[in-house]
């Protein structure tokens, strides 16, 4: 399968919102994604395409020399095929190009698939945010990857 990752554009937002709704119990709105693409100067979002169709996306906020991954999601029928891996690799590569040395994220305590992927790419658990998720009060694992430039 040929997976192409590129910067997200305004034209991608409707497909991204569809994936967001499928993947998360408290999805971001279309307006939130439009603001991220058009107004948030700290945001960088990427989409993964297969045959010209958006099948996944990932985003982060770039603050000084750190990146905070806001979300990564893959369309259900494309999960387990390396799409999330390619998105994460693209975010890490972008950080390296911009001399951003550290990345962080929160992940549901129950999301072992995502945690395994993040660990594979050098993210380490640094703590827990209790009752972080508003839908069910689940804890979030806080993970960091440092020394991206080395």
Show which residues are catalytic: 106, 118
* C-beta of residue 47 within 8 angstroms of C-beta of residue 56: yes
The Cα–Cα gap between 38 and 30 comes to: 12
Q: Which helix (H) or strand (E) holds 67?
A: strand 66-74
Cα angle 49, 56, 4 (rounded to 5 degrees) comes to 25
């Amino acid at each position: 399968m040929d997976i192409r990752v590129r910067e997200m554009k305004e034209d991608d937002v409707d497909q991204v919102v569809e994936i967001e709704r499928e993947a998360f119990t408290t999805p971001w709105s279309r307006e939130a994604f439009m603001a991220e693409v058009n107004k948030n100067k700290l945001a960088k979002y990427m989409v993964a395409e297969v045959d010209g169709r958006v099948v996944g996306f990932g985003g982060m906020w770039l603050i000084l020399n750190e990146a905070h991954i806001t979300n990564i999601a893959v369309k259900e029928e494309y999960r387990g095929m390396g799409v999330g891996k390619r998105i994460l690799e693209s975010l890490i590569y972008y950080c390296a190009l911009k001399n951003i040395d550290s990345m962080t994220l929160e992940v549901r305590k129950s999301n072992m698939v995502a945690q395994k992927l993040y660990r594979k790419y050098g993210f380490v658990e640094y703590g827990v945010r209790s009752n972080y998720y508003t839908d069910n009060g689940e804890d979030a694992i806080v993970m960091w990857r440092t020394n991206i430039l080395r």
